[in-house]
Structure 1
Amino acid sequence: MTLPGPVGTPSRLTAAVLAAVAVIAVFAVALLGAGLAQTGTGELRIPAAGTTALLRFLVLVGLAVHVGELAGRRVAGDGPRPRALSVPAALLAAAASAGLLVLLTAVSGLSPPVAYGLREGRLLLVTANAFALAALCAASRRPVLAVVPLAVVVVAEAMRAHPETTAPAVGIGLTVVHLTGASLWFGTLLYVLRTMRLRRGGREVLVRYARMAACVYAALAVTGTASTLRRLPLDAVLTTAYGRILLVKLLLFGMVSLLALAARSRMRSGGETEGRMPSGGEAEAPARIEVVVLAVVVVVSALLTVVPDPHGVAG
């Protein structure tokens, strides 16, 4: 006897439309976002800002997919699991890191040995090599070993984002927690949704993810607020590209929060009426929209690493 699909589960056409919208939005935001945000600010234009943002996005996505897959396997529990994407994700991120290194050489006008000797160049080399090692670990019999090179990637990215001379350890620490939490939220949710699609439901998988996501959400809210207070002067919120992009990120974060609450609410109502919705399909619908919005949040986060430091303008 063939069981009917879960109530409220999006059709393949709907899923394809969401994926297409996400891809278009990501490319548009990455390529045009920095220039639009700098309109009227008087800030110096960043060379190859669009290409840099797109490559940064690929690095962040590769990290999130790999981290999320490691965590998602534990959340998924027993049962069929989707095809592993950690190896291609790590290789894509390694290629993107190498692309950033080549771009640094081209934009700076320096010879490769000199560019690679810069702080930015050294960190990009570390990131690219760490991703390559993570891919090898993922392809081995003990894929969990990839945690070590992925941790190196997170620390290298945090160091790259905080070249300040005043209390850099604080900023690096906040970014390590924030980047890890963001990778867990986006990457694990993506893995959970792929698992539910494979199993034609699986409310218990989404429930376990929701418990983990609550802790991740709290960590993101605290570290994001602390980082903003440290980095963005109040008078630079609307007058700098960084401040404007951060406002967009906050709006998207609020939207994702509402979607997460909607999914949690539907899971609770589903638990009270198990006979009507055993698979959690109604909670899956807002979760699918949530992962699309999270993809846009990631590319907006990539833009924040490209635009000028707001302290330079405000000062």
Structure 2
Amino acid sequence: MSGVVEPRVRVLLDPDWASGSLVDDVRRGLGGRPRRLPPKWLYDPVGADLFDEITRLPEYYPTEAERAILTAHAAEIAQACDASTLVELGSGTSDKTRTLLDAFRSPERPHGPLARFVPVDVSDGTLRDAASMLSVRYPGMAVEAVVGDFTLHLGQLPRGDRRMVAFLGSTIGNFYLEERAAFLGALADSLDSGEWLLLGTDLVKGADRLVAAYDDAAGVTERFIRNCLLVVNRELGADFDPGAFSYVPFWDPRMERIDMRLRAEEPQTVTVPGADLVVELATGEEICVEISTKFRREGIAAELGEAGFTVERTWTDDAGDFALTLARRD
């Protein structure tokens, strides 16, 4: 067996990226209407722990549904795709991805074992820990981690060999329609003809079940969404009172998405010194924090087709809650 290959880590993010990006997002999102805060600011250490708790809630099905698909079909995915490099966007700890890596590293795989894994994430520490663990777990496989923002750095992903990009967790559903089209187009532009995309998407289902998944009885999702205000308070010296907002999750049937907002319960003047901003909120005014779009199989194929991909295979869990779509760059 080949020996452990020392992982490589490439840092594309400026050390001041987070603070500068937060200032820009707050000025743009809270300074205009509708008021918005991008969901990436939910994931400070507190928010990351809360989201981890969410994935284990009885109401929240997507994580385990996707895991079930990977467990049942990872070998088929590895056999259907001739990639020798796997790139994962927003990899975090690469927890679920290990099921894929096990299949891609199998000596029985007709295309040969995967040669290289490229995890991409904004968290330097998490990425380095995961890269070290994966190098030991998969001797002989090169791990080339990239500390970067996948909305900014698609064009700087390592090239060479045939690649498959994995974008799991239905993170694509957090993009608005126009953002989604732009992102998929940029992803297609970053890939060569014949390279691959494995896309995880949550599927449309009954509204009651969808709302329950984002409005759990224990209130964990509500605390998660409110946490974005605490991040702005801490990082930019703002004086948001999280208790002065109510959490408003609802199903938008026209856009087929869950919309998660914070609604001001009284008139408020919020100062954000770090962004040189004063925000006047009226009673009932809302801050849009996150959306989670749900998809239909034909819609996924159409959006991928517009971006320059052809769907090759789609797998779902037994309940038909979630889909993994394998598409090839035209």
Q: TM-score, normalised by structure 2?
A: 0.28
Higher relative contact order (CA 8 A, sep 6+): 1
Q: TM-score, normalised by structure 1?
A: 0.29
Higher strand share: 2
Higher helix share: 1
